[in-house]
Amino acid sequence: MSIDFSKYPKLAAIMKAKESAPSSPILDENLYSDHESPQIAMSILDEEVSTSLIATDTSPRITLPDGEIDPRLKLLSHSSRTTLHKCPRKYQLYRLSSMERDAEQQKDLEQGVTFAYGSAVGVGVQSVLEDKTETQIYMDTFLEWDVDFLAENPKQKKSFALCMFAVQNFIQLREDGFLKDYELVYHNGAPAVELAFEILLPNGFKYRGFLDAVLKHKLTGEVMCLENKTSSGTANSTTFKNSGQALGYSVVLDQLFPELSSYVVLYLVYETKSYRYVELPFTKTLLQRALWLQELLIDTQMIELYDSYDVYPMHGESCLDFFRDCEYLDLCTLDTSHLTKPLTEDIVARIEKSEEVYKFSVSFEELIEAQISKGTI
């Protein structure tokens, strides 16, 4: 959560002086008057932010028993695990600073044109694979674009018009024979696109994700998971080769194809600056999944360890990410309760309601049994 200092007049003046100083540490005593020490400045922020959060949340609060971890910290996804590995403190603040993150779909929550572009192109590609008409394809893409239609990112060449152009390029790619030997898998009468799944881990932790599409070779029966990506740079196989994201897809495939021992993941990366799609296929085995499951367990145990000490370490080397300052820079040393939203009955209700989204659900124990039955453990 980024703090809008304009809402906190006392602190705004201090922060303005800090920004205009030629050289300033996180807190510089020279920026304050005789009666305003850094400690007083922090208490001002604590008071004003706390008051703001209380004013916007009227749902009854929940007090957790000693040793109990906030349920929001137990909801894992590929992107949240990446954040956890980069900086545990950011993971803690990011997870606890919103009422609805993970109570809704577990997609990347980055705002603005970048996310809208990638999401809309992905929906367009899925609609093409479903053999919808061009009108339906463009309508689906249009409805997924959730920012201003004139908004753009010129540097990365991302806009609504260029989003439509990317979808047109994929339509042409299909007409030229791309994936002509594969057909879309159907499950319970519905196309296997945007499939939501969750893994029920020990001690109440959950790992959640979405699979873009499942395809099957018409002759050989080879199963392929399609993962749509967009990139403002050059598509590089190193970026995706050992990504754990695709290993979670085996949860869905276990139910669709119980005898499957390996599968192919095709990363279809659209380079926004070259206007072309790049294919990056990788084969995933159940042995790789076994190792990935162990890593999931380690992550849950690390969160439990951090929480038991009430310390989520700050990794300073991650304060600059994607050429931008972390949104919690200069704030992460403050009291957690004043930077996050308290756990309320409304939040818990939203988390419980979100269970309806995940049609494929399997326990960690069931996955282990499947591994053993296939002789991979």
Q: Which pLDDT does position 4 carry in this prediction?
A: 52
Please report whether residue 51 resides in a domain: no
Q: Which pLDDT does position 57 carry in this prediction?
A: 57
Tens-digit pLDDT profile for residues 306-352:
999 999 999 999 999 877 898 889 899 999 988 899 999 999 999 88
Q: Is the pLDDT of residue 273 over 60?
A: yes
Sign of the Cα torsion 300, 305, 309, 314 reads: negative
Please report whether residue 169 resides in a domain: yes
Pick from 2-11, 222-231, 291-300: least confident: 2-11
Please report whether residue 81 resides in a domain: yes
Tens-digit pLDDT profile for residues 152-178:
888 889 999 999 999 999 999 999 999
Please report whether residue 98 resides in a domain: yes
Domain boundaries, position 182: 57-377
* Cα distances (angstroms) measured from residue 304 to each of 65, 67, 132, 297: 14, 9, 47, 11
Give the pairing of strands 360-363 and 193-200.
parallel
Please report whether residue 287 resides in a domain: yes
β-bridge mates for residue 235, sequence order: none
Q: Is the pLDDT of residue 3 over 60?
A: no
Q: Is the pLDDT of residue 89 over 60?
A: yes
Please report whether residue 20 resides in a domain: no
Please report whether residue 96 resides in a domain: yes
User: In total, how many domains does the chain have?
Assistant: 1
150 vs 322, more confident: 150
Q: Which pLDDT does position 101 carry in this prediction?
A: 42
Q: Is the pLDDT of residue 272 over 70?
A: yes
Q: Is the pLDDT of residue 358 over 70?
A: yes
Please report whether residue 42 resides in a domain: no
Q: Which pLDDT does position 44 carry in this prediction?
A: 41
Q: Which pLDDT does position 108 carry in this prediction?
A: 37
Tens-digit pLDDT profile for residues 280-301:
999 988 888 889 999 999 999 9
Q: Is the pLDDT of residue 111 over 60?
A: no
Mean pLDDT across 49-57: 45
Other C-beta atoms closer than 10 Å to the C-beta of 306 total 19
Give me the phi and psi of 60, to 5 degrees please.
-55, 135
Q: Which pLDDT does position 189 carry in this prediction?
A: 85
Place of tokens 């545990």: 88
pTM above 0.85, yes or no: no
Q: Which pLDDT does position 53 carry in this prediction?
A: 43
Based on DSSP, count helices (H) and strands (E) in the chain, helices before strands: 12, 14
